Structure 1
Amino acid sequence: MPSKSKSQTREPSKSSGDNHGTVDSEGNSEEIHEEVSDDSKGSPYDEGEKGKRKRASQSSEGRIPKRTRNEDDEAVSNSRDKQERIGRLHKLVTGSNSRVVCGDSQSGRPERKKVTSNNRDLGKLRRFLDAPLEIFCEILEHLHPLDLLNLARSSRTLHEFIISRRMGGVWQSCLGAQGVPQLPHDVPINEPQLASMLFENACQACGTVSTIKIYHDQLLVRLCKSCLSYNVESGRKIASAYGKEVENDSGIYRLLPRLGRDKYLISDFKDVIESYLATRPDSEERLNFVKKRMIMNTATVEYNTALSHWRSNNYISKHVEANAACKERKESILAKLSELGYTMDEIEFCGSIGPDVSTRLDAIMWQPRKLTDRIWKSVSKELLGYMEDARRKLRRQNKKDALLSAFKSFCATYKQGHQGSGPTYNFGELLEFPSVKAALNDQSTTNIPDTVIPELEMKLPALCEGRAEMLRAECLACVNEERANVGLLPFDAVCLQRDIGEGSLSKALGVPTTDCALFAASTAFVAYAWYHRYDLDFSSLMKLFFDEPYPDNVRSSAQPAPWTPPRIQEDFAIDAEYILKSLGLPLNVTHEHMKDIARKISCKTCSNHPTFLWGGFIRHQAGHRNSKTKADYQFTD
């Protein structure tokens, strides 16, 4: 069992059997062969001394005795450090747009707390230190690869033990439990590096913690978007730095995997080129190097395909599991609501009230977290509030459905007795009945009282008889009153006036006129729809309220607005009579006629001589009136 040790910065480890070429003081080259012992002997910590450093006199058996440092030794040491192999991850470049480089301290790896004391009380965990090594390894085999990586980083001793070669079987078991394809021997990474690439969510260049959803396993690294653009380059662009001959050597581009058509990891490609150029052309050494690299390249490409299938299957399985968990949670919530007395109609109606409520309900119900008593307590208040609102609205809708059915039946009967003319009454006005409003607002009942519909069937025929004439008289009185308020002549006087303008008799021939102010071209009523004002003539006003007296259904169709006393558009009458006088037309010309001939009129005062519809000319004249300019309206040829 590995013992505890003080956490220190891990130095790069030397592989067994590496030869480091050095140069002595006279310039002659020599080879220094350094023997590296096992993991336990190669560690600067003694397992029997609880993390204390070994003294100089306690050198391990088989290790070369330390020589007295002199100038020659300094030269040898510096040369050895320069030629020491650097890990491929240390050669990666951090992108300029990386969140770590841009100063986002929260996006990088969290700083590790330094432990200053090794005398912590382990309690019952102290017995765990006495467990056999085989038992400890068997426990490690059941860990998730990410947990095993974190455990290896918890201390120097555990790191040396878990990352050692003899733990390869443990790593393979951990990766195999997650369905990861077995790592081939020809792929140039080991199991811990594979686990870091597959399961960690940090960029291996800048350390930015983020969710990387675009993978490039053929490069055998995990990079964020910014670092990927800095570490990947076109193969020909990389090779051009070594000369034209190297750039045109097509064999180099087949020695390592590429991203897309011609993108390579810069550090790996440079290493391959330098190793390739270090061999003599057509030599056996180069042939062996090319053969080894081709085998490695093929294995990496095939393993990348296997990893792609694994990622896809892993995503599908997680998606299926998440959907099953979400479905189970939703069923649990529905069961809770049913126990509280809510029906399925009320639950379904709650999801159709509006987009905001529907989105919030999905957020509460459709998530993989299991519904516990604590979670139900936190969401029940909001959820039951939505359900109570849905219950009230559903009951009101059901009552309106019953009223709508009765009103449709009344309208059909009314048309049969009035030569196809519908009633001058709409569903919006029906809902304003005192008995109907009281029934709709009563939440204690789910249906309309039996007395309401018979009462409506008895009162509606009497209300509809003569209502059209009554509304017409109401609108006419409004027109005459507003004309007097703005200083216009009464419409009866307008109809008797003949001296309107020069040549008016000849131009007025064949022009339809009216004796009712409601149908005159100078009369318009104010109407609003979707916050926009519309100027409507009397016929359009009546169609707005009574052309469609009821909706198709009360759930999704717009409700007809109840009749309201109309309001005349005062400026419309003033501007319309000014235009009619300019054209030499009678002031009692009909609104329909002016809508038909409006395209034949133009404003000669404006440079472009614009033409409009009749309502457009009224607004155009309002602009001239506000700017106090005189407009000249004429008929176009």
Structure 2
Amino acid sequence: MGRVRKKRRQELPPSTKGKKRVGRNVGKLMKMLDVPMDVFFEIASYLEPVDILQLARASRDLRSTLMSRSSRHVWVAARGNVDPPLPDCPDFLSEPEYAYLVFERFCEECGAGRAMNVDYALRVRLCRTCWKENVKRGHQLAKEMDLKKDKEALRVIYNLLPKATCEWFESEDPRLEELNQISRDLFYEPEFIDTVEAYLDVRDRGDDDELEKFIQECVDFTLDRLNFHRDVIEWYREARAEKKAAGVDAKGEREDAIERKLSELGWKRADWPYISRRFYNMVHQPRPLTDRIWNTIRPKLVALLEEEKRDREIEKFNLKWRIRRQQLSGHYRTFLRKTRDPVQQQMLPGFQDALELPCMQALLTSKDPDQEVTLGDFSAIEPAIQAEAEVYRDEVYSNLVSIWQEHLDECEQQRTAVSSQEEAEPPRASQKMQKRKKKADPIGGSIPALDPAARLALLDEPTTFFTCTLGMWWRYDCSKPMSYIGIMEHWRTQHGDTRCSRGALGSDGGCYTTHLPYLLGTLGLEAKTTTHAELHQLITSGRPSGHISQARWSAPYERTSVKETAKAHRITFEPFDEGASS
């Protein structure tokens, strides 16, 4: 019988289920510990303290190595790499504690970032919330410790520890030689309690020499800490000033580099905008101009330069022809005062819009700027103004129709939303009665696309009103509802120096859709067939007069105080006397 070979067991790869993925660079810094320690310390001595703090967080082994006493020379060398040089580390702080206090921005109480309330005398950095919770007035802390009646202690305790300030505290006073802290000063509560309790313990022993020695040691220690705080603050001010100066230098170098790049594209420094936040935010930055940054900002800078060029050309043109524009403005006002059809008169544009007409542009530049344009020259183009003004009128009509259609669409959406809500709710008895009543069809509606005749018909409906949104809210001339004829006349008379734009016009349906039929009824007109032109003709035809007649009134609800008949107003217009002005 032959020998039977055992089947080799196939080993499966280890399961990775539930294991956290490890990055490619995780653990690579551990290889630094494989080098000789003197080489490692030599490399670390070229870093700055904040870099060594970050390195110590990489692993436990690195932390234990860098935080040991044998690594103190590395921290001292790293501190020497800081420019401007930091003050020497005091005896009451270790080198890592000193670096953490100066360079890190974490709250030592809650761990929050961006903790800017630091006190180098207290050796703490706190966030705003923890600062308010732990830093209190001396008299408040003394009251909490039941020392308000201990006069002897109150004369001493406020000079046993440093008062609290903040990093923003800057003093140019000389170094402190004596203390004069008072009860209104701020103190760090945990240290205040420990120091005062230690003072009370020494005092309770009854040894005056020991008490005096304790007080003197606390006062000397407080002076050293306050002067250390002052030295670090002075270093911080100097470092901040140098950083600011370096940032200014970097901004200048970046600006010069951008100027050279733009000059290669044909743009001179004189072409730069006078005032442009978008332009100078890209230019004045404390970062060097790299190829990637230049490729990103170049199209934006060129676009702003081209916009500035167009604006300067317009400004130059307006300045050159300013006197000519003033002459044309006077001639145009004379032209508007001429007698013509009232409706046609109201359709004429204001001066700024009229200046854009081709005939006006041709007359503006027909002569040298120092030559006068006579009234005869202007009279020659009056027929052209009348003809070309129709283009302006059609443009305004289109804007008004678009605005009114948007208003009607919005009203329709609101009615649809209300109807959907009413259908979702169970109808009440009063609602059922109202549904049985015959309702009048609303005047107007949303029309998607209109030919010129239909467009004019929509604007001529008596319920179509507009407002001017350019004027201030307290100006009634701008806030009152106006027809399409009135809004064009208003713009010509009130805002002639500004071009008429769609953004300065708004719709104002208000309550006219509901109540205008009754008003037209008092004039003896039909709501659906009357136009704004007919209303204008009627109102200007004579002097209005009114009278009251008895008419049957259908009350919308039953009420004992409502009479069966009510008085209705009727308004008529009597012709003007011959020779009277309308």
Question: TM-score, normalised to structure 2's length?
Answer: 0.52
Counterpart Cα distance in 1 of 2:230 and 2:32? 49
Amino acid at match of 2:66: H
1:200-227 deviation per Cα after TM superposition (whole angstroms, max 9, x unaligned)? 122222332x223343333221111222
The answer for the alignment partner of 2:326 in structure 1 is 408
Partner of 1:530: 470
Amino acid corresponding to residue 278 of structure 1 in structure 2 = D
Q: Is the 8 A contact 2:49 2:99 kept in 1?
A: yes
> For each residue in 1:512-542, what CA deviation from the matched residue of structure 2 results, as whole angstroms up to 9, or x when unmatched?
xxxxxxxxxx9x9955233975346999975
Flag structure 2 segments of 5+ consecutive residues without an equivalent: 1-24, 166-183, 340-347, 394-461, 472-477, 525-536, 545-565, 571-582
The superposition leaves residues 144-184 of structure 1 with CA deviations (integer Å, 9 ceiling, x where unpaired) of: 22123334555145324567566675366346x43433455
Structure 2 partner of 1:223: 126
Once the two structures are superposed, what CA deviation does each residue of 1:324-371 show, in whole Å capped at 9, x if it has no partner? 32232233223322321234464316x55xxxxx34x34322211100
Q: Aligned AA for 2:211?
A: R
Q: Distance in 2 between matches of 1:431 and 1:252?
A: 83
Q: Is the 8 A contact 2:468 2:487 kept in 1?
A: no
Map 1:52-67 to 2 at 5 A: none
Match of 1:507 in 2: none
2:294 aligned partner: 376
Q: Distance in 1 between matches of 2:270 and 2:219?
A: 66
SS of alignment partner, residue 266 of structure 2: coil
Match of 1:222, SS state, is strand
Report deviation, 1:287.
1.5
Q: What is the CA-CA distance between 1:275 and the residue it aligns to?
A: 2.3
Indicate the SS of the match to 2:129. Answer: helix
1:415–1:152: structure 2 CA closer, same or farther, 3 Å change rule?
closer
Q: 2:559 aligned with 1:559, yes or no?
A: no
Structure 1 residues 215 and 420, CA gap change in structure 2 (3 angstroms) = farther
Letter in 2 for 1:211: R
Instruction: Give the deviation of 1:293 after TM superposition.
Output: 0.4
Aligned residue type for 1:180 = L
| Equivalent residue letter for 1:159 | L
Query: Aligned equivalents of 2:29 and 2:198: distance in 1?
Result: 47
C-alpha distance in 2, partners of 1:198/1:394?
Answer: 52
Distance 1:297 1:631, change over 3 A: farther
Tell me which amino acid in the other structure corresponds to 1:272. Answer: T
Match of 1:277 in 2: 200
Matches of 2:130 and 2:359, distance apart in 1:
72
Tell me the SS of whatever aligns to 2:217.
Answer: helix
After TM superposition, give the deviation of residue 284 of structure 1 in Å. 1.8
Conservation of the 8 A alpha-carbon contact between 1:141 and 1:171? yes
1:299 is aligned to 2:216: no
Q: Is the 8 A contact 1:233 1:263 kept in 2?
A: yes
Query: SS of the residue aligned with 1:313?
Result: helix
Output the CA distance in 1 between the equivalents of 2:75 and 2:488. 86
- Aligned match for 1:462, one of 350, 367, 380: 380
Q: Which residue of 2 aligns with 1:149?
A: 53
Deviation (angstroms), 1:392: 4.6
**More displaced 10-residue stretch of structure 1: 326-335 or 217-226:** 326-335
| Percent identity (aligned) | 21
Report the RMSD for the aligned CA atoms in angstroms: 5.5
Shift of residue 292 of structure 1? 0.5
Relative to 1, partners in 2 of residues 1:162 and 1:530: Cα closer, same or farther, differing over 3 Å? farther
Q: Give the letter for the 1:407 counterpart.
A: R
Letter in 2 for 1:559: R
For residues 387-426 of structure 1, the aligned pairs below 5 Å read 387-395=305-313, 398-399=316-317, 405-412=323-330, 426=351
Give, in whole Å, the separation in 2 of the partners of 1:418 and 1:227: 73
Alpha-carbon spacing, 1:526–1:306, altered in 2? closer, same or farther (3 Å): same
Contact 2:116/2:126 (<8 A) preserved: no
Within-5 A mapping of 1:188-207: 188-207=92-111
CA distance in 1, matches of 2:186, 2:298: 54
Aligned AA for 1:181? P
For 2:149 and 2:51, locate their aligned partners in 1 and report how far apart those are by CA, in whole Å. 45
> CA separation in 2, counterparts of 1:205 and 1:434?
78
Corresponding letter in the other structure for 2:290: T
Task: Tell me the matched-pair count.
Answer: 393
Q: 1:579 to 1:149 in 2, by over 3 A?
A: same
Conservation of the 8 A alpha-carbon contact between 1:256 and 1:294: yes
1:315 pairs with 228, 231, 240, which one?
240
Task: Give the Cα–Cα distance (whole angstroms) in 2 for the partners of residues 449 and 212 of structure 1.
Answer: 66
Asked if the contact 1:255/1:293 (under 8 Å) is kept, the reply is yes
Alignment of 1:39-188 (within 5 A): 115=27, 120=31, 126=35, 131=39, 136=41, 142-153=46-57, 155-156=62-63, 158-161=65-68, 169-170=76-77, 173-174=80-81, 177-185=83-91, 188=92
Deviations 1:464-513 (A, max 9, x none): 48989xx9xxx9xxxxxxxxxxxxxxxxxxxxxxxxxxxxxxxxxxxxxx
1:304, 1:164 → 2: CA distance? 25
1:255 maps onto 2:160 in alignment: yes
Matches within 5 A, 1:499-538: 528-530=468-470, 534-535=480-481
**Contact in 1 for aligned 2:46/2:81 (Cα 8 Å):** yes
Give the 3 Å change call, closer, same or farther, for CA 246–258 of structure 1 in structure 2. Answer: farther
Q: Which amino acid aligns with 2:264?
A: E
Q: Counterparts of 1:318 and 1:277 in 2: how far apart (Å)?
A: 47
Deviations 1:239-258 (A, max 9, x none): 55655478652112220012
Q: Kindly provide the CA deviation profile for residues 382-410 of structure 1, in whole angstroms up to 9, marking residues without a partner as x.
A: 33344444445554555565565533233
CA contact (8 A) 2:137 2:187 kept: yes
For the residues of structure 2 that align with 1:289 and 1:225, how far apart are their CA atoms? 33
CA contact (8 A) 2:105 2:114 kept: yes
TM norm structure 1? 0.48
